[in-house]
Amino acid sequence: MTLPPAQARFDRPRLLADIGGTYARFTLEVAPGVFEHTVSLLCADYPDFYAAVSSYLSGLKVGPIKNSAVAIANPVAGDLVQMTNYHWRFSIEEMRERLGFDNLMVVNDFTALAMALPSLLPQQRRQIGGGTAVPRSVVGLIGAGSGLGVSGLIPADDGWIALGTEGGHTSFSPRDEREVWILQYVWRQFPHVSFERLLSGPGIELVYRALAERAGVPAKSLSAPDIAQHALEGNDPVCSETIDAFCGMLGTAAANLAVTQGAFGGIYIGGGIVPKLGTLFDQSRFRERFEDKGRFSDYMKAIPTFVITASDATFVGASVILSAQLRGMDSDQGSAILSQVQRARSQLSPAEQRVADHVLAHPHSALNDPIAQIARAAQVSQPTVIRFCRSMGCEGLSDFKLRLASGLTGTMPITHTQVTSEDSMLELGVKVLSNTASAILQVRDHLNRDAIDRAVRLITAAQRVEFYAVGHYGNVADDAQFKFLRVGVSSAAYTIPQLQGLAANLLNPGVVAVVISSSGHVPELLDVVEKARARGASVVAITASQSPLARKADVALMVDHHEDMATQMPMISRILHLLMIDILVVGVTLRRGAHKLPLLGDAVTAALDEAQVAPAPAAAKRTSPGVSTAGTLAHLSSHSRGTPGFQTN
């Protein structure tokens, strides 16, 4: 198996693990894609995860391990790992410290397996049936073992995004009379029957007992491997029927996954059961059931299905994810919240800097420790920890931990890709859209509920709202004025510095000034804030965290986005500010109540007529345009507020 060329170099072996409900497999990656000392340990022989790892490492004559990746049959969210199909339970940070590792990354096993799929060689997979994979399309992954794993890959830029799912717990749907019998049998024991309940090692044993009862024969005390072996040998009719039913039900589950994901890149089958069935699986009804989708049968026939035959695929995927995380740490592109802490550190107070240093040095510990322990470790008071969290745009410690957890899960996020002069027009378009989507998702993950609520309350109660911005962000202010006029809020936009100072001198306690700045360092806008505060007006800032503007405002809505101004206009950050305006408009509209909104359609049409601009089609009137013509908007604003100051850029 070959690894992607982007794999990071390393100067010492890395420990990789694949932990299932029955076996724990370990290996050392001594060079990219080179695995040595691979061992499979029985989980039942060890009381906990630490004992299994220690036992494996004790038999090796290698230097200290610094980096490790663990793929585990369990959802991973945050620091605490509690296995679903086994009793092992541990804290990632505590385990890292006990083992003496610099980095211990834990991910879902099928997330890791999914990341290995692009690296599979033709001889490391076996196609079942027809179909042809469409390059750079969504890929689905399903596999039965101690449970039923489900994942997938979505192409993004030059890489992939792995989906961490629990799709194995979707509800089982019978396809024929035999499966109805199986479902009714299992219902006697379980009120909810998922696909995993039947498509797994324990599931095979359960199906065997159901079919033995259906056949009117006593069920033997057989394990899943025993049942599979009897089916391979063909010496037990009930065992053969059990594996036949298993393959058919897996075909339905795989088909459901394919149509749900639109997986034209193919469906891959992993896990510990199917690869061991060999030609028995190839000759089963799996592919027939996969294509059996009624009107969508032709759709399904085009999608190929593959059995993964590579024994080290999960190790490869874990290695890919670990390398990406280590590269991110080296280039300061890891967790979004950690990157924010790094950027803001120099602007924090000395006490808050100590909290920042502790979080950056021990992110997993900060995720799991109570506030008292974090304060002691950073040698600060507990209120300082809270102030630090709020300086990061969070409501408090719990909100900060939620954001920190999202950056430590080990999944592969969308990343920013630089637009270059060598890009084709199609590549340029894809990169622009992908970069924008990535930035929007990052801002979404850092929204502060309390700040948005306070800003909406201030604007709802205001007599008038005035928007201040300069340069490229003047269009954001113009857009904001138009949208608030549309919902009946008296508003004005000032985008020329000379007029901004004059307008700020006329502010009063009933007005909210919304100041829009990507950097938060523009002197003219900071002067507006000073004048607004002096005259009793409230200030809402849409700006970068830890900027002077954010600190001076009554409410700050944080939009943190680094953009290379040397190669492109501030297109993404401007879109982020426009979206923040949309949030405020929707929030104010909902708080005011639909019954209080004026009927603006006629007023807008009249304004357009007087400006000698043809009215938009009816369908277009129902939406708010981003930025219209200066004449139209100026005319509309003069009818709505009767004050000068509307400017376009």
Q: At 359, which CATH number? A: 1.10.10.10
State how many domains the chain has.
4
For 332-342, the pLDDT digits (tens) are 444 567 877 88
Confidence of residue 166 (pLDDT cuts 50, 70, 90): confident
| Residue 51: inside a domain | yes
Confidence of residue 558 (pLDDT cuts 50, 70, 90): confident
Same domain for 299 and 175: yes
The secondary structure of 244-299 as a DSSP string is HHHHHHHHHHHHHHHHHHT-TT-EEEESSSHHHHTHHHHTSSHHHHHH--GGGHHH
pLDDT at 321 over 90: no
pLDDT of residue 36: 92
What CATH number does residue 174 fall under?
3.40.367.20
Nearest-10 crossing angle of helices 313-330, 109-116: 90
What CATH number does residue 322 fall under?
3.30.420.40
What CATH number does residue 603 fall under?
3.40.50.10490
| Residue 419: inside a domain | no
Mean pLDDT of 191-196: 94
Where among 275, 296, 326 does a domain terminate?
Answer: 326
pLDDT at 617 over 50: no
pLDDT of residue 422: 58
pLDDT of residue 570: 57
Same domain for 77 and 62: yes
Same domain for 301 and 276: yes
pLDDT at 138 over 90: yes
CA distance 88 to 43: 9
| Residue 583: inside a domain | yes
pLDDT of residue 333: 40
Confidence of residue 5 (pLDDT cuts 50, 70, 90): very low
CA dist 625 to 242, 298, 465, 615, 628, Å?
61, 42, 19, 13, 7
Nearest-10 crossing angle of helices 201-215, 177-187: 110
Where among 277, 296, 326 does a domain terminate?
Answer: 326
| Residue 412: inside a domain | no
Q: Which of 10-14, 321-325, 475-479 shows the highest mean pLDDT?
A: 475-479
Spatial contact of 168 and 150, defined as CB atoms under 8 Å apart: yes
pLDDT of residue 84: 76
Same domain for 480 and 563: yes
pLDDT at 632 over 60: no
For 44-100, the pLDDT digits (tens) are 999 999 999 999 999 888 878 889 999 998 877 667 888 877 889 898 888 888 898
| Residue 422: inside a domain | no
| Residue 21: inside a domain | yes
For 31-54, the pLDDT digits (tens) are 888 899 999 999 999 999 999 999
Lowest-confidence pick of 30-34, 314-318, 536-540: 30-34
**Burial class (CB within 10 angstroms; exposed 0-12, middle 13-18, buried 19+) of 459:** buried
Same domain for 610 and 517: yes
For 456-504, the pLDDT digits (tens) are 999 999 999 999 999 888 999 999 999 999 989 999 999 998 899 999 9
Residue 475 or residue 328, greater confidence: 475
Confidence of residue 629 (pLDDT cuts 50, 70, 90): very low
Average pLDDT of every residue of the chain? 82
Percentage of the chain lying above the pLDDT 90 cut: 50
Same domain for 203 and 181: yes
Same domain for 222 and 260: yes
Same domain for 222 and 356: no
Confidence of residue 363 (pLDDT cuts 50, 70, 90): confident
pLDDT of residue 79: 76
User: Closest Cα to residue 519, out of 537, 544, 536?
Assistant: 544
Confidence of residue 613 (pLDDT cuts 50, 70, 90): very low
- Quote the domain boundaries for residue 66: 14-109+314-326
| Residue 429: inside a domain | no
Helix (H/G/I), strand (E/B), else coil: 596: helix
pLDDT at 614 over 80: no
pLDDT of residue 519: 86
Same domain for 595 and 451: yes
pLDDT of residue 62: 81
Where among 358, 391, 406 does a domain terminate?
Answer: 406
Reported pTM = 0.54
pLDDT of residue 597: 43
Lowest-confidence pick of 242-246, 263-267, 426-430, 555-559: 426-430
User: Closest Cα to residue 267, out of 250, 284, 281, 248?
Assistant: 250
Same domain for 128 and 81: no
Same domain for 382 and 474: no
| Residue 450: inside a domain | yes
Same domain for 521 and 451: yes
Spatial contact of 286 and 108, defined as CB atoms under 8 Å apart: no
